[in-house]
Amino acid sequence: MFVGITNTPRDYAWGSSGEISALLAKEPTGKPEAELWLGAHPGCPSVVIDPALADGARDLSEWIQRSGSLILGSGVTQLPFLLKVLAAGAPLSLQAHPTPDQAIEGFARENAAGIPLTAAHRNYKDASAKPELIVAVSEKFEALCGFRAMADTRASIERLAAVDAASATPNPGLFAEWLAFARDDSTIRGMFEWLISAQSPVGDLVARVSALAAEDASDEFALVRTLAGYYPGDPGVLIALMLNHVTLTKGEALFLPAGNIHAYLRGVGIELMASSDNVLRGGLTPKHVDVPELLSVLDFSASPVPYLRPEPQGTNSTVFRPAVPDFQLTAITGASTVAVASAAILLCTDGEFTVEGTTGSVSLARGDSVFATAEEDTLTVSGVGQMFVAATQ
């Protein structure tokens, strides 16, 4: 069975001005458009367009509660993934997500402490991990992701120190203290803890680096200028220099496992993740930052940019298959046959498609999204454009 679903973009402050509506050929909401959720997460479940097709349920979460394995497959009671359209008009917070065990423990701990799920200082909204992939659908998508080698971070600090030394009012002591942490990859955690503490002299260092970047028009310090403009005085401005800075082109993807510190900076992407809303923030935000909890989940190892390369599936489709079983994302541009191992969510972002399943069929135009029950285990697709299919592996 194929059932049409929809939702309203979430209006987080960092969202773009109408880019989700533009991508999906909808009327703009007049508010920031940050994320469109397609899934059953209770925080913002997708609306069922025709409840008569879903046992009278008004949203996907309610339908799954009523019908469970009848629509998800034998023995399956929860939709394990959440599909989003994400549009960053301004930088998101530096953040990381827990492992499954950390999420279970943290959720139980905060429940036992009586912290409301809606509390601003709540870290764990559910008991699930939140690994995620994102595919750029704008021409460029800019992000920070994972710690880079300390040698690279040290080189950036030394270049900033050189600009400081050449200024009218140099302050070499500030940079000497920062450089003392920049020995090798084993000191990544120490530098991070020192910066995120935001105690003197870190506050002075943030102000000094921001001022130097504002006076230096080089591309090298563009990131500092951007972040300092949005979040003046935030230690995340300096933490960003410890991270891989990447600009994806349309169709490129990242996979961000548990513990990977990251921030999306600008652009529109299709994001697929485990069905969770657990976020531990580390700066570039006015929201709650729990430093001890963040330190407990972060992976402090240096790593390259975590690109996720697509695997071809015939002429007109590719699949992004991360190293977790909860989800995979198939990108389709034309006639294809796609085998799915679970219930699926289909989203058309361009053109028109007809999809024949095992028991039913559906047509999608730009902006349409559909929930496919587990019985539709083989999808025969015709049409031209761009469509994404989210399912488990």
> Does the pLDDT at position 109 exceed 80?
yes
Instruction: Report phi then psi at 264, rounded to 5.
Output: -85, 135
Q: What local confidence, expressed as pLDDT, does residue 220 receive?
A: 81
Domains 2-145+247-297 and 316-391 share a fold: yes
Answer whether residue 297 shows pLDDT above 90.
Answer: yes
Q: Which of 281, 309, 321, 366 is catalytic?
A: 281
Q: Is 80 exceeded by the pLDDT of residue 198?
A: no
Tell me the residue ranges of DSSP E strands in the chain. 2-6, 35-38, 47-48, 81-88, 95-96, 132-136, 140-147, 243-249, 253-256, 262-274, 280-281, 311-312, 317-320, 328-332, 336-339, 344-356, 361-365, 369-372, 378-391
Three-class SS of residue 292? helix
DSSP character at residue 186: G
Distance (Å, rounded) from C-alpha 248 to C-alpha 251?
Answer: 8
Q: Give burial (CB, 10 Å; 0-12/13-18/19+) of 26.
A: middle
pLDDT of residue 97: 98
- Per the prediction, the chain carries an average pLDDT of 96
The reported pLDDT for the residue numbered 314 is 85
- pLDDT value at position 181? 95
Find out whether 130 and 107 touch, Cβ atoms under 8 Å: no
Q: What's the pLDDT at 215?
A: 86
What's the pTM value of the predicted model, to 2 decimals?
0.95
Pairing of strands 2-6, 369-372: antiparallel
**What pLDDT, on a 0 to 100 scale, did the predictor assign at position 216?**
81
Nearest alpha carbon to residue 176 among 160, 188, 192: 160
In tens, the pLDDT along 231-249 reads: 999 999 999 999 999 999 9
Residue at 224: amino acid letter: V
Q: Does domain 316-391 have CATH number 2.40.37.10?
A: no
2-145+247-297 in CATH: which number? 2.60.120.10
Segment 153-161 mean pLDDT? 96
Amino acid at 121: H
**Per-residue pLDDT tens for 327-349?**
999 999 999 999 999 999 999 99
Q: How far apart are CA 150 and CA 302, in angstroms?
A: 8
pLDDT over threshold 90, residue 219:
no
Check the CA dihedral 301-302-305-308 and report its sign.
negative
266 in active site? no
**Domains of the chain, residue spans:** 2-145+247-297, 150-240, 316-391
